[in-house]
């Protein structure tokens, strides 16, 4: 690691690193030396001893994201090895899907990097200055390891503002069609990698689609459906499925997927879920299955209380629509909302709605979005499957 800038951290930061969390906050950095935006830097403790190497951010509150605690070079070979290991892990855990997450940032020891695979194409997010600068190296390694026909950089993510990086979405290698087709769980899906939500579509509920579909029945409502993930998986088990979202573009993709798969009992509807649940409740509409998969209401710890009120409100309204024996699948994708909190607000909502709930399954994100035990942020998605007694 000779010849790279050194950044010195205090005791508190060192303890945090020892506890298995790879971030160092700006307030715990005591000297920045000649470090510049996006550099790989040597991280030095208060006694002057090297503790590893990190990506340096000149603007974020998270100044350092550790890449290694070994005295090794962070070069092309380093990234290629980490990417190869990430890919090997997917071979173990991904079943029946040509779309999956290849790299889940900290969960794959590659902080700041997301790579999703959609069949023959990749869609990546370079979320910090270090990964942004390593973009071409990483794209080159991915080309060698996976040989995709095209790679998209979905760098239109608001967190990049904290890094002083532009928000943009572009093809970085090969050619990418406007609709990329792939199989998932026996369905033929498609995604718009340049403009769709996240890197194209949501991939983190892939295993939960199957789990929820196993319990779904009767008249179903998929609230916050996006491109219809839960709705289309539940369709064979249900009489009808109403799939609701506020994004017209996502709904259009969902309807195209429905038609491509010859599914006839899913209806997509553009609406605000809060308003829709209130009007259905007033009209005493009844359902046998309701899925709630809202966006992250708690973007930070400061908004946690109002987020919990939001979760309680939609769960209360959804529960009012459910018949006896009905299924509620309720999710939270905010890591600030821990499973225990979600269970508590849903329990309160159930008491208020006069329903008794049995827990059928307590689930998390799909395994290709790995969770690191010492990095709580990596466990972000909770999915509870409950039954009304
Ligand atoms: N269930 C989806 C992912 C949902 S992500 C899947 O499996 O693919 C959250 C979705 O909520 C987004 O599609 C967003 O467009 C939608 N959304 C956000 N606020 C909304 C609101 N008030 N009413 C309806 N949809 C909303």
Q: What is the CATH number of the domain that holds 277?
A: 3.40.50.150
Helix and strand numbers, DSSP H then E, in the chain: 11, 20
Beta strands in the chain (DSSP E): 6-9, 23-25, 29-31, 40-44, 50-56, 62-68, 99-104, 113-118, 121-126, 150-155, 168-174, 180-184, 187-191, 218-223, 238-245, 266-270, 287-292, 322-332, 357-364, 382-388
Which domain-ending residue is among 124, 155, 184?
Answer: 184
Which domain-ending residue is among 68, 87, 121?
Answer: 68
pLDDT in tens, 53-96: 999 999 999 999 999 999 999 999 999 999 999 999 999 999 99
Residue nearest to atom 15 of ligand 1 (CA): 247
pLDDT in tens, 91-121: 999 999 999 999 999 999 999 999 999 999 9
User: What is residue 302's predicted lDDT score, i.e. its pLDDT?
Assistant: 85
Tell me: pLDDT of 1 over 80.
no
Residues flanking ligand 1, CB < 6 Å:
197, 201-202, 205, 224-227, 229-230, 245-247, 250, 272-274, 293-295
pLDDT in tens, 39-49: 999 999 999 99
Residue nearest to atom 18 of ligand 1 (CA): 295
Give me the CATH number covering residue 149: 3.30.750.80
pTM of the entire structure?
Answer: 0.95
Tell me: do 301 and 321 sit in the same domain: yes
Tell me: do 45 and 87 sit in the same domain: no
Which domain-ending residue is among 44, 68, 92?
Answer: 68
- Nearest CA-CA partner of 4 in 30, 46, 41, 29: 41
Is 193 inside any structural domain?
A: no
Give me the CATH number covering residue 55: 2.30.130.10
Is 191 inside any structural domain?
A: no
Q: Average of pLDDT values for 365-378?
A: 96
Tell me: do 83 and 210 sit in the same domain: no
Are 331 and 292 in contact by the 8 Å Cβ rule? The answer is: yes
> CA-CA distance, 307 to 79, in Å (whole number)?
37
Is 197 inside any structural domain?
A: no
> CA-CA distance, 40 to 134, in Å (whole number)?
10
Is 141 inside any structural domain?
A: yes
Tell me: pLDDT of 236 over 90.
yes
- Nearest CA-CA partner of 242 in 261, 262, 223, 263: 223
Tell me: do 42 and 82 sit in the same domain: no
Is 303 inside any structural domain?
A: yes
- Nearest CA-CA partner of 264 in 287, 236, 292, 283: 236
By CB atoms closer than 10 A (0-12, 13-18, 19+), residue 310 is middle
Tell me: do 341 and 277 sit in the same domain: yes
How far does the chain reach from its first CA to its final CA, in angstroms? 62
Are 360 and 325 in contact by the 8 Å Cβ rule? The answer is: no
Is 190 inside any structural domain?
A: no
Range(s) of the domain holding residue 147: 76-184
Which residue in the block uniquely carries the two structure tokens 């996976």?
Answer: 146
Tell me: do 372 and 266 sit in the same domain: yes
User: What is residue 2's predicted lDDT score, i.e. its pLDDT?
Assistant: 62
* CA-229 nearest atom, ligand 1: 7
User: What is residue 120's predicted lDDT score, i.e. its pLDDT?
Assistant: 98
> CA-CA distance, 27 to 88, in Å (whole number)?
37
Tell me: do 122 and 179 sit in the same domain: yes
pLDDT in tens, 295-325: 999 778 888 999 999 999 999 999 999 999 9
Tell me: do 280 and 217 sit in the same domain: yes
Which residue in the block uniquely carries the two structure tokens 């910090």?
Answer: 128
Domain count, the chain: 3
Pairing mode of beta strands 168-174, 180-184: unpaired
Is 348 inside any structural domain?
A: yes
Q: Which residues does 330 contact at the CB level (< 8 Å), separation at least 6?
A: 291, 292, 311, 315, 318, 342, 346, 383, 384, 386
Residues identified as active-site: 333
Tell me: do 345 and 210 sit in the same domain: yes
Tell me: do 362 and 325 sit in the same domain: yes
Output the CA 273–ligand 1 centroid distance in Å.
9
Residue nearest to atom 16 of ligand 1 (CA): 224
Tell me: do 262 and 362 sit in the same domain: yes
Tell me: do 220 and 330 sit in the same domain: yes
Are 151 and 143 in contact by the 8 Å Cβ rule? The answer is: yes
* CA-295 nearest atom, ligand 1: 9
Is 128 inside any structural domain?
A: yes
Are 366 and 203 in contact by the 8 Å Cβ rule? The answer is: yes
């Amino acid at each position: 690691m000779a010849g790279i800038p050194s950044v010195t951290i205090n005791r508190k930061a060192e303890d945090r690193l020892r506890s298995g969390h790879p971030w160092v906050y700006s307030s715990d950095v005591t000297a920045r030396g000649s470090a510049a935006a996006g550099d790989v830097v040597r991280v030095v403790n208060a006694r002057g001893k090297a503790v590893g190497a990190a990506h340096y951010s000149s603007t974020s509150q998270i100044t350092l994201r550790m890449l290694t605690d070994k005295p090794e070079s962070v070069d092309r070979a380093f990234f290629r090895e980490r990417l190869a290991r990430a890919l090997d892990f997917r071979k173990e855990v991904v079943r029946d899907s040509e779309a999956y997450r290849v790299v889940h940032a900290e969960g794959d020891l590659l902080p700041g990097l997301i790579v999703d695979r959609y069949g023959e194409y990749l869609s990546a997010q370079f979320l910090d200055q270090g990964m942004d600068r390593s973009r071409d190296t990483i794209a080159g390694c991915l080309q060698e390891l996976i040989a995709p026909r095209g790679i998209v950089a979905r760098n239109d993510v608001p967190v990049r503002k904290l890094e002083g990086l532009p928000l943009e979405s572009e093809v970085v290698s090969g050619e990418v069609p406007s609709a990329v087709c792939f199989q998932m769980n026996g369905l033929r899906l498609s995604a718009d990698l340049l403009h769709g939500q996240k890197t194209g579509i949501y991939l983190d509920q892939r295993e939960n689609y199957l789990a929820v579909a196993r319990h779904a029945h009767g008249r179903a409502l998929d609230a916050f459906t996006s491109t219809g993930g839960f709705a289309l998986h539940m369709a064979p088990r249900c009489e009808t499925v109403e799939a609701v979202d506020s994004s017209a573009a996502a709904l259009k993709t969902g309807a195209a997927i429905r038609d491509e798969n010859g599914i006839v009992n899913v209806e997509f509807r553009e609406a605000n879920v809060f308003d829709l649940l209130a009007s259905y409740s007033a009209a005493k509409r009844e359902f046998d299955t309701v899925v709630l998969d809202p966006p992250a209401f708690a973007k930070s710890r400061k908004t946690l209380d109002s987020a919990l009120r939001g979760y309680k409100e939609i769960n209360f309204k959804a529960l009012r629509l459910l018949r006896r024996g009905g299924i509620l699948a309720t999710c939270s994708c905010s890591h600030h909302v821990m499973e225990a909190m979600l269970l508590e607000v849903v329990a309160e909502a159930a008491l208020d709605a006069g329903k008794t709930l049995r827990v059928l399954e307590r689930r998390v994100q799909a395994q290709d979005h790995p969770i690191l035990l010492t990095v709580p942020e990596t466990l972000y998605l909770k999915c509870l499957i409950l039954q009304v007694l």
